[in-house]
Structure 1
């Protein structure tokens, strides 16, 4: 794929135009003595006199040690003050508000939908938060701690009191960090040289009186002539909030023909029972379909039933789901170093996290049939009044009076609870030093990480016991008589996911030789890394691929998976100064990088970058980077076992005439004329890692392009602005192919290679056309191209007085991202395939890809008082194909969230008190209807709880 030069030139002109407009605006601001203020997110360039005394360090986005505040890499920094002012004890909730983060990030609010999924990236409810830069997904954003990888990229497990700042680089960085750094990196920089102690307690509650959180942290450290050490503990706990506690999520909402209406599951406590047409026709009102449901009595007589009414009879499963999961975290960390000699230092960074969380689902839905949950009700059962077999009796599989559908919900068993206990350990230790009195520094490190997630699913029905209960006379048609017998046959499947990372790395960094414009620098290094994963499932939940079920209910079925890989990498980066102190070239540097990665699973990949830093004048930096990026398949994508997933399918084969069906014979095989669609709309799909199904994968590949300006006007002290135009494009995407993608591709082309992935019930069954299963393994398929503009404007106002009144100090900051395109071709090269631009849309596949996101932050400080106001803007999006009635799109409105924080310090007792309000105006999230999971909202983007109050007290010693 080639980059569209017209779009690039347009973006460059836009960048230059905004840069000059910004400069003019700053002049006017100075002349008018504006009270606009700013938060520092782009550091102001140090004066030349200061630079001489600064220590060179390795900066995020480069291997070179430097003193420059700005480089070719557009890094946005969130410092401790910004993290503290947010008032939220979990880092994920703080970072996910950045404008560069969008799409399907994992949020702590996400509810669980049950067991069986090996990959933690496909689960909800485990309390994790993961980052999706540029909307490219959590797999394409690399999370680092002091430049080192984490075994588990859950940023919520990082204790806040261990972090000095967070550097976020939103551009491809494969030459610096290797695989996964496509959308960029989030680098958590640790606290060092800390002396003293600090204790903090915090709490919060929503304006609805729920969602309470509470926590504490303790940090202590000391520094000597040859050592420093800092350690701490951290604890926070969140209460669960039921979906029914908010009006927008009290019921599952479906948009049909432009009208939003409460709906839910067709699996209902009184049963959705398929009967012969002769029986259904005799029910009151003459049933329009063959489905009936219990109306009165115990169900032993046909007269006890009435027509199933569809939506009016639907079951409200939202009544049991959480919009915030119950969770608690306990953390401990130790960071330290010891100078063994004047040029040799030992260092150790380690931390431990234990996260406990739980998600909840409605009582178990279940369906008769070999390819459903595997149970049946014989026509000879004395309580069965219909004379047909629901499901299939294995003793008489060819009985023409069998195979009828029977869906019910086992409310007598109570809710299904999914608990998670996740333990994480991360250690980075080694030696660093210098080569004598030279400029060269080196380090050798061992990085080890281990994560273990244990999941238990409570109140899952054991099918064998359930069948035995039915055969022994338990009345499956009458919920009131089920409870006691069924509770004796309940299982608790257990799923354990473990992964580990072991890495050894050696690096060196120093000066090569002097050039007329400065000293040429070089950084080199190499590493070896091994990753392992193991996923186990108790025997009662192992999926039977032939039937699509297991010993418990189908939704809890899974498969074990296990695998490992290793990579050997060598890399180098050189900074070459070309010009200095010349007319229109205050400085001109070129940064060259290369990295070769040899994976045991996918072979060798070499990626290069070139970056240019040009200062035509001292105050203005013009920067640009072109880099190759790649992502090797992770262990889940390679080795996940086959798992049953049940997405909602927008089936294109519904309501078609005979002539229309004849044009789509492959996709719509066995579909009847004017077929109403799958019932329920959820279909069975088989997700699997590539190696599990005998396939191979190759890395994703692409390029990342960034061009930008940074302006720090010397005539306006404290001001800084930047603008960056970026473009990332990828091919050979690693993705679990979506059911919608498979069906739509086959619908558009009868000869599509994806058609064999679809299986429907044939004409010999009672449900012809209904989807039996769609295979959706991880594949290399598709291209993705996204581009946009980032803009920051920051201003620390000079201190001033209003007569005899000192109003304090002010600063302000604006950060904004405009997404100009987000084009995905799901099936390139196939007939009918085309790139779809998802910019400005919401979909289940990519999440919220809004065009504009921004934050405006105002800070004030006076004596012992401080305050912060922040506004976070999310532009409107279009919810694609949201209307289940006509397939039309639906609008989702723009949202402006406001938060306020006020602090007061009491020096006499070394204490500071902070109070705050999030979502000040109590904005409800825009609805995404049935596309939003179980609560009608995109929790990766929008606030689900409403107005939230918090308070914190911090004591320093």
Structure 2
């Protein structure tokens, strides 16, 4: 079932054409069932509240949020954890993750319960959506930017494990995006907004139309979204790599070129940089009292790379969606839906540095090259040799600003086509519902990388002149002095790197639900079904990268596939009915058998209780087994290298025991880490086994009679849910910094086995591949209050308050060593707040609606790391720690609508982050001085104007 894009467009065009024929059909519309299917159960039910805690984000909620993407919307709910969004300027900065999924540049994802994006299942209309491909790997999560907001009717978020209902990936929960099935007439909406700083413009236009006629209904929508970039140097907080520390913690790769070498004539070690082009070198000088054209290096000379990053990445999305439903008979209907979505996005990083020499191992060519004495730009008059038995070139760190910033431009095309039949039938006095479905979806990404370099050509251009003259197009290179590379030199060593990747999903399913038999307390309902899925993915890096000549990350192609067949059964068993303290008591049971071509079979089960004590009080609880199968990137991801920012404990250790351990590792006592970037090799593991989990959920829903249909309250609902997820055999790599620290502390081969050092003490190999690491144990409480005031002549007030409290979050490796990620701590560009809370007040009538939303995050702490001696490190709550204070964001929206123009006009104006709350300074965050997964970016007061016209 593999469609080429030409066939895909033809299929989508067919869907678009169907509504025109549909108006000619006339028949009686099928009677709509009172029971509906709610995320978390395949059994149709009529109860408003089931056994599972489901948060429903309806269209009013979506519109009130003022957000223009599903990803931003989901990341704002209190159960959300750290996930990618367009505030992450990932390409060129974060490198390749171990899961083989690539950097996810330009994507937006969702995390629930801080268990990771790969442990959330994303459905669209109850069917799985294709995983993203980032053009740098084979992703294992859904990019929410492939689903336009214009087609969304509501979003149901199941905050409980559901592997027995939906299969793999549903450990932390399920996000089910329900699309619009029909619309009366046409609608045109537009939106424009920008930050009050005058940047970050967003423009959006959506056109949709639909209708219903007899047996036929349809909906068609086209949308375009354009988000502009915001450069990091536009905000003071993010214009420094570590805010408040100046260049002291910047990069050693500087525009002038920092060189650490041993003069073979004098035997003296020098750490110098040229103060101009074509510098003269006096070998008789030593130390920093110099009269030649070189200067000694200090922290003040480090390069501030953050000025060249992006705070908000540009993102353009165009989409076309259509779906139709046709009633074939009184009991059978046919649907077909299709989508095409294209995203164009860009990430940017500072000019790519050259790290050459034995002290800063990066790749073969840079580690072993020679800057020859006969190179016309070599100011020293002798060979500078890296690698070998007797190197004298320890480090050359050159930042060629003349080559421009690194820009990574992605084009991502997503195509989705689904069709199926559904219907009902009776046996005696019992009715049954059935459906069969087939879906094909693909996500194809290509990326152009501008501003990177060919390391082999660098070695040739810097090496002996005869070698350069023997290669066509070669010109000798100059890396001594700012702006040393001429356009001719850049043309020789600066390629355009082209990478591609693709993910494809084929899906077939069949489901049956209904009532089996009558019990004293009611009908015993069931659901059962079968599903088949075929996953295929590949990543094709540029041939330069495959050959190992790319100066940046090193990566090899990835290709893999697997399929799975599953059957499931679910029962809803009524136990008691219409008794004292048991108005209704139901037991639910579910089990799913999954057979994977990669590792074998798995059975997961779930049990839940729904106890309606009275019309006011509902108690519910569940226990669920879960699992997550390793995806293509995790299984087949090729070995890839990236530069991680790490602090080597063996660099000038102050502790005597650490110094002794470093000596045992072969590190000289005088070793000083020249650059915080250390090459790390990651990759997949075909021996991985599925993760397994156990989830518990216990809570209540209280709807007091005293607050129902009274003069002051139309309805009040109070709910609470306690949850716990225990995950075993978690698929991930050890935190690289933690692994390095534990290696030095313990000298255990469990941690040191993948870390190798050269004769100078520098780490020249760091293996950080995936494994079934250990366990994750997390627990928390959700608390919700909603209140609706009776309608008055002037309007109606509603209040919705939702709070999540994290009790604990513990991560352990295979040796039962505690990992650093936990509640209240910021680590690896993400943090887990103890409390997160959203409060919304809305007031409106038929003409005017007003909304005020407050979003709260409690404080975090982080290690100050290398910034511990700087004033910006608060040393709070203890020495060497920095406190990230709590924040409250205020969002306002005012909307006016009238029926006087065509079929209706609505005007909306909003202001998010009303008081311009700045994010707390984060010293450990890799870029831009704050955590973009939790906080709005600096200077982020954002206004918008939206219009919607119906006709």
Which TM class, normalised by the smaller chain length? 0.7 to 0.9
**Equivalent pair of 1:298/1:304 in contact (CA under 8 Å):** no
Aligned mate of 2:823, from 836, 839, 852:
839
Aligned mate of 2:184, from 172, 175, 195:
195
Equivalent residue number for residue 62 of structure 2:
83
Equivalent residue number for residue 667 of structure 2:
671
Compared with structure 1, are the counterparts of its residues 411 and 836 closer, same or farther at alpha carbon in structure 2 (3 Å cutoff)? closer
CA distance in 2, matches of 1:297, 1:454: 39
CA distance in 2, matches of 1:214, 1:403: 52
CA distance in 2, matches of 1:234, 1:476: 48
CA distance in 2, matches of 1:742, 1:911: 59
Aligned mate of 1:299, from 239, 257, 279:
279
Compared with structure 1, are the counterparts of its residues 66 and 254 closer, same or farther at alpha carbon in structure 2 (3 Å cutoff)? same
**Equivalent pair of 1:657/1:673 in contact (CA under 8 Å):** no
CA distance in 1, matches of 2:89, 2:336: 36
Aligned mate of 2:485, from 456, 460, 482:
482
1:745 aligns with 2:745: no
**Equivalent pair of 1:842/1:878 in contact (CA under 8 Å):** yes
**Equivalent pair of 2:247/2:299 in contact (CA under 8 Å):** no
Compared with structure 1, are the counterparts of its residues 87 and 836 closer, same or farther at alpha carbon in structure 2 (3 Å cutoff)? closer
- Offset at residue 540 of structure 1 (A): 0.8
Compared with structure 1, are the counterparts of its residues 118 and 504 closer, same or farther at alpha carbon in structure 2 (3 Å cutoff)? farther
Gaps of 5+ in 2: 1-30, 132-141, 283-290, 466-474, 709-714, 870-878
**Aligned-residue RMSD, C-alpha:** 2.4
CA distance in 2, matches of 1:101, 1:266: 37
- Offset at residue 454 of structure 1 (A): 0.5
Q: Deviations over 1:53-76 (max 9, x none)?
A: 971111101111101110110001
Equivalent residue number for residue 921 of structure 1:
915
Compared with structure 1, are the counterparts of its residues 535 and 401 closer, same or farther at alpha carbon in structure 2 (3 Å cutoff)? closer
1:326 aligns with 2:306: no
- Offset at residue 426 of structure 1 (A): 1.8
**Equivalent pair of 1:232/1:333 in contact (CA under 8 Å):** yes
Partner-residue secondary structure (3-state), 1:647: strand
Counterparts of 1:186-335 in structure 2, within 5 Å, are 186-253=175-242, 263-276=249-262, 290-296=270-276, 298-302=278-282, 303-335=291-323
CA distance in 1, matches of 2:32, 2:188: 33
Counterparts of 1:536-685 in structure 2, within 5 Å, are 536-542=540-546, 550-553=548-551, 555-656=552-653, 660-661=657-658, 664=661, 669-673=665-669, 675-676=671-672, 678-685=673-680
- Offset at residue 556 of structure 1 (A): 4.1
Partner-residue secondary structure (3-state), 1:176: helix
**Equivalent pair of 1:275/1:291 in contact (CA under 8 Å):** yes
**Equivalent pair of 2:195/2:942 in contact (CA under 8 Å):** yes
**Equivalent pair of 2:258/2:297 in contact (CA under 8 Å):** no
CA distance in 2, matches of 1:659, 1:808: 72
CA distance in 2, matches of 1:749, 1:475: 44
CA distance in 1, matches of 2:776, 2:350: 37
Deviates more, 1:481-490 or 1:369-378: 369-378
Compared with structure 1, are the counterparts of its residues 148 and 499 closer, same or farther at alpha carbon in structure 2 (3 Å cutoff)? same
CA distance in 1, matches of 2:796, 2:59: 19
Compared with structure 1, are the counterparts of its residues 895 and 876 closer, same or farther at alpha carbon in structure 2 (3 Å cutoff)? same
- Offset at residue 656 of structure 1 (A): 3.1
- Offset at residue 356 of structure 1 (A): 0.2
CA distance in 1, matches of 2:836, 2:487: 53
- Offset at residue 404 of structure 1 (A): 2.5
**Equivalent pair of 1:736/1:778 in contact (CA under 8 Å):** yes
**Equivalent pair of 1:611/1:625 in contact (CA under 8 Å):** yes
1:65 aligns with 2:36: no
Equivalent residue number for residue 48 of structure 1:
none
Q: Deviations over 1:272-328 (max 9, x none)?
A: 11122799999xxxxxx8411112452232454444433211111112111111110
What is the total number of aligned residue pairs between the two structures? 864
1:178 aligns with 2:162: no
CA distance in 2, matches of 1:441, 1:673: 75
Equivalent residue number for residue 422 of structure 1:
412
CA distance in 1, matches of 2:786, 2:279: 71
Aligned mate of 1:106, from 84, 87, 92:
84
Compared with structure 1, are the counterparts of its residues 652 and 118 closer, same or farther at alpha carbon in structure 2 (3 Å cutoff)? closer
1:779 aligns with 2:771: yes
Partner-residue secondary structure (3-state), 1:175: helix
CA distance in 1, matches of 2:590, 2:398: 61
Q: Deviations over 1:160-215 (max 9, x none)?
A: 12111001111111111111111111110111232211110110011100001111
1:515 aligns with 2:512: no
- Offset at residue 402 of structure 1 (A): 3.4
Equivalent residue number for residue 898 of structure 1:
890
Aligned mate of 1:698, from 689, 704, 715:
689
Aligned mate of 1:360, from 335, 348, 352:
348
TM-score under structure 2 length normalisation: 0.87
**Equivalent pair of 2:756/2:765 in contact (CA under 8 Å):** yes
**Equivalent pair of 1:389/1:401 in contact (CA under 8 Å):** no
Compared with structure 1, are the counterparts of its residues 390 and 80 closer, same or farther at alpha carbon in structure 2 (3 Å cutoff)? farther
Deviates more, 1:642-651 or 1:219-228: 642-651
CA distance in 2, matches of 1:391, 1:407: 15
CA distance in 1, matches of 2:814, 2:505: 34
Compared with structure 1, are the counterparts of its residues 602 and 950 closer, same or farther at alpha carbon in structure 2 (3 Å cutoff)? same
CA distance in 2, matches of 1:659, 1:278: 34
Gaps of 5+ in 1: 1-51, 283-288, 544-549, 763-767, 801-805
Partner-residue secondary structure (3-state), 1:435: strand
Deviates more, 1:371-380 or 1:412-421: 371-380
CA distance in 2, matches of 1:510, 1:279: 90
